[in-house]
Structure 1
Amino acid sequence: MSLAELVDSANGFIWSIPLVGLCLVAGVYFTVRTGLVQVLGIPDMVRQLTKGEKSQDGTSSFQSLMMSLANRVGMGNIGGVATAIAFGGPGAVFWMWAVAFFGAATSFIESTLGQIYKEKDPDTGEYRGGPAYYFEKAYAHKARTLSLAYAIVFAVVTVFAMSFFLPGVQANGMSSAIESAWGVPTWATAIGVVIALAFIVIGGVKRIAAFAAFVVPPMAILYILFALVVFFVNIDQIGHVFGEIFSGAFGGHAVYGAIIGQAVKWGVQRGIYSNEAGQGTGPHHAAAAEVSHPAKQGFVQAFAVYIDTLFVCTATAFIIISTDMYTVFKGETFGDETLYVGGVGTDTEPGPGFVQAGFDTLAPGWGSSFVALALVFFAFTTMVAYYYMAEVNLAYLTRKIRNGVVRRGMIRALQALILVSVAYGATTTAGSAWGLGDIGVGTMAWLNILGILLLQVPALKALKDYHAQKKQGLDPQFDPRELGIEGAQFWEQRADGLVTQGAPGDPAESSADPRR
């Protein structure tokens, strides 16, 4: 069996119907359990972005959101939407929306857990957290060995997924778009990206957060604005676009009705790849933020899912479908029998090429350049975010090693690994890159969703506590002991510091005091 066949086989096993169903069912379940938090919590989401705290040890809520969006808004928003449409038909877009809406509740749960069980890094003093941390701590008092084993498995999987499997997808999309637009060889793009990425990741989480906050907002806004121009130029296509999406989603389309199963699978798969709800990535960024209550970051990260899918992915879908620049394949591989052939013909591989062709209908010759530029920023910031999560999980695995030199040496080895992955991904084929990426995403999703279904109670208690304090007119503060939550040592120490170090404004107050 060749490597490509092995990758396809593993991908088919991981992304089977059970995982697709698990993602959707978990989202619906958490929607009910949280009382429709992704809708009723929108005012809190917006409020936290404008009033979030920050400190020497943690990022602000806005910076945390930008780090999260740097991770979410990438190749999946452009190439991922294109491949979903190519192999699932326009109906796949509906299932991307569905997994985003319900996934926002899943994101709230996992991100709140990330905040509850975060801790400080012994070398940098920065906040660290994520699934590995809450898997170990949430039930350590009841099943320590099992909790620790599950946490280690997730951390190991995440280190390899984020440093080896996933970066290649972003690098490949970037290099392909640049070669198509400007004729730059993929090897030249690889060299440039490796140099730039090395500069950012060596600077640590502060440099990563500052870079993301500087780059992500203007690029995402610019992309959406250009998509709106296409929208208004093709405004007469609105009915057609939504008709194609909804009829294809439920098997009512004359052409795409036969691939409704593919529509669901590809919509959910690419939706999770893009918005990452349930995958376990959001909690890493959530844990890095300085807040007075964990639920605050739950709201912020739920909002990130909306921005990613309902805004950016929808913009991409409209560009592709309204301009008729797509092909739909009956199978799940480029070159299979076609069900529909639009303006791009059958020679354009599903990915950025669909979007570039769509923009070209508006401004001939400019579409390729704009999409290539968008991918340069989207994909690069995503690779930076991938590294951050790989580092967090490596720090988790090595935090018991007392020798700081050894720990830092392993961090340098991790940095080298992601740079090699980026160089390889930029120069390989798109199919190989996506196959490895899907394996990484799927494995993390299996582990994380099953885990948070068991560990949801602390997050639900935090949400109830947050609302109770808000009703009293308070800025919610968190003490896990009052809620019967065990294992949240950081918050216990923080609460004790608030009690022993005086009233607000006292110079002796802890730097972690949210009222600074």
Structure 2
Amino acid sequence: MQEIVNYLNGLIWSPALIYLCLGAGLFYSVLTRFVQVRHFGEMWRLLLSGTSSDKGISSFQALAVSLSGRVGTGNIAGVAAAIGFGGPGAVFWMWMVAFLGAATAYIESTLAQIYKEEDEGQYRGGPAYYFEKAMGQKWYAWIFAIATIIACGLFLPGVQSNNIGSAVETAFGAGSIINTSFFGEVSFAKLVSGVVVVLILGFIIFGGVRRIAKFTEIVVPFMALAYIIIACVIVGLNIDQLPSIIGLIVGDAFSPMAGFGAAIGWGVKRGVYSNEAGQGSGPHAAAAAEVQHPAQQGLVQSFSIYIDTLFVCSATAFMILITGAYNVHGATEGAFLVQNVASEIAANGPVFTQMAIESTLPGVGKPFIAFALFFFSFTTILAYYYIAETNVAYIKRTVNIPGMVFILKVAIMASTFYGAVKTADLAWGMGDIGVGLMAWLNIVGIVVIFFMAKPALRALRDYEDQQKKGVTEYTFDPEKLGIENADYWTKKAATEARAKAGQAEPAKARKPGVA
């Protein structure tokens, strides 16, 4: 199985996908005149001003749901793997893919808002919806939907639960080893971790998207803040080393110890895995938000890339590099370019990060990372479920097989448990396949949409025009902008126009001098 997974990853994560991710980000950054920089202040305002409705969640809740997918194992174990296999320079390329990817996130999330639908009392949307409506290619939308259900329902949850189990095992010990006929040898710690995660997961996903949104809007900001505070304490205690560490990251990005291909490859791969810019997962939560204008949610989701990579991932990288709690693997098996810790410690896991905190704050690192990983990874699994469920809902519009959502819930719970007790390399490999498939399909799709109609750019210009006029209530009329098949917004604009005309009519009838 491991050999098959490695072979597929070699095909999917070829240099073509690496440069496609960076190229798409640069392409949209230039076209939007670096929207991720120009509208930074507006992102903050929108983040704090949105409200929810009976059909949609607030901008902040949508941010929390998407962040729950972005902030997870990739921020702790993924950064460690990028350093371990790509060298310190990989961190620079994680920053680069985040900065450029923020523009890609704006595009895909705005598209999700433009082409969202109302489904059973809630908003639904995402790449499958905008591929069908903007591209007019339903077959392509179906391929994305099926690939996403497989990726988010089967492949990706195992990565998150695997790292929960590994962190618990490192923090509290493996306990007794249990031999099973299906899983082989499993530590008691991993077995218990898998059972606990699955039970809590089942309780929440059977409660629907609102329960997911309410859980994540509380947990994600709290854990991200706590994690960054711990990182700031460690960096503060070693502040004299920070300039040299930044110099090491930037210098190694262009003359890397692990080779240029390794640095950029691992940096982009783990960067995309962490912040998901261009992957097509963030748009699902973006479509569920209640906003006045589609560009507003695009800006909010663009800001989420900063939180994920430039804040949380950087915090992990600085802790690991400042404390020297890492190895850098060479090209051959068992060879190390840098070896600061024991050779048996896997780079594909949270141990580097645990050791980094433990070396500065003894007794804190191992349990804190286990605790943080539980919440980060668990909320990411919730996000994966929501994404997979949205694509099941898309398929049900055409083929409604009874029990599809129930089967998905059982499948993601089984995948979560399986991942918790299996090896890290297999779990990460399957996760990379899922991320790569979605990224290929989504980035190619949004580039095609741009050359067909440019809906996200038209929405941005419309929003900026209204900003210049100083409006307090934003409106969006897709027909005036030449955007077709945006049925929800077309209907909303028509309803608002009728309401406005109805209010003006009585005033028009009462002319001076008329009884």
Which SS does the other structure have where 1:339 is aligned?
Answer: strand
Deviation by residue 1:21-60 (Cα, 9 ceiling, x = unmatched):
0010110010000011000011111110111132100000
Say which of 241, 249, 253 aligns to 1:237.
241
Name the counterpart of 2:252: 248
Give SS of 2:16's match.
helix
Q: C-alpha distance in 2, partners of 1:472/1:235?
A: 46
Task: Map 1:24-35; keep pairs closer than 5 Å.
Answer: 24-35=22-33
Which residue of the partner structure matches residue 410 of structure 1?
404
Partner Cα separation in structure 2 for residue 382 and residue 434 of structure 1 = 15
| Residues 264-343 of structure 1: pairs in structure 2 closer than 5 A | 264-331=264-331, 336-342=334-340
Pair 1:460 & 2:457 matched: yes
- Which residue does the alignment assign to 1:40? 38
| More moved, 181-190 vs 376-385 | 181-190
AA paired with 2:464? H
| Residue aligned with 2:328, SS | strand
- The alignment status of 1:196 with 2:200, answered yes or no, reads yes
What TM-score comes out, normalization by structure 2 length? Answer: 0.92
Structure 1 regions of 5+ residues with no counterpart?
141-146, 507-516
**In structure 2, what residue type is equivalent to 1:247?**
G
Structure 1 contact 259–330 (Cα < 8 Å) conserved: no
Q: Secondary structure at the match of 2:338?
A: strand
- Cα deviation code 1:100-151 (max 9, x no counterpart): 0000000000000000000011xx31100000000000133xxxxxx10000
Q: 1:112 aligns with which of 106, 110, 113?
A: 110
Q: Does 1:136 align with 2:132?
A: yes
Match of 1:511 in 2: none
Q: What's the secondary structure of 1:127's corresponding residue?
A: strand
Within 5 Å, give how 1:362-401 maps onto structure 2. 362-401=360-399
Question: The residue matched to 2:93 in structure 1 has which SS?
Answer: helix
CA distance in 2, matches of 1:33, 1:88: 31
Is residue 443 of structure 1 aligned with residue 437 of structure 2? Answer: yes
- CA-CA distance at 1:502 after TM superposition: 4.8
CA apart distance, 1:345:
2.1
- Deviation of 1:330 after TM superposition, in Å, equals 1.0
Equivalent-residue separation in structure 1 for 2:128 and 2:73 (angstroms): 26
> Which of 1 and 2 has greater Rg?
2
CA distance in 1, matches of 2:107, 2:496: 26
User: Residues 434 and 48 of structure 1: is their aligned pair in 2 closer, same or farther, counting only changes over 3 Å?
Assistant: same
Residue among 169, 174, 179 paired with 2:169: 179
Query: How many matched pairs?
Result: 485
Whole-angstrom distance in 2 between the partners of 1:82 and 1:197? 26
The residue that corresponds to 1:73 in the other structure is 71
**What is the DSSP-based 3-state SS (H/G/I as helix, E as strand, rest coil) of the residue aligned with 2:480?**
helix
Task: Call closer, same or farther: CA 1:89–1:503 in 2, change over 3 Å.
Answer: farther
Identify unmatched segments of 5+ residues in structure 2: 174-187, 505-515
Contact 2:68–2:380 (CA<8 Å) still a contact in 1? Answer: yes
Partner of 1:469: 466
CA distance in 1, matches of 2:331, 2:406: 42
Q: 2:342 aligns with which of 342, 345, 353?
A: 345
Q: Secondary structure, in 3 states, of the residue corresponding to 1:154?
A: helix
Q: Say whether the 8 Å CA contact 2:135–2:448 is kept in structure 1.
A: no
Once the two structures are TM-superposed, the CA of residue 163 in structure 1 deviates from its matched residue by: 0.5
1:476-513 per-residue CA deviation (whole Å, 9 max, x = no partner) reads 2111001000010011111112122358999xxxxxxx
- Aligned partner of 1:496 in structure 2 is 494
Q: Indicate whether 1:17 and 2:15 are aligned.
A: yes
Show the counterpart of 1:144. none
The residue type paired with residue 123 of structure 2 is: Y
CA distance in 2, matches of 1:41, 1:451: 25
CA distance in 1, matches of 2:147, 2:284: 14
From 150, 153, 160, the counterpart of 2:140: 150
TM-score (norm 1): 0.92
Displacement of 1:182 in angstroms is 1.4
1:432 to 411, 426, 432: 426
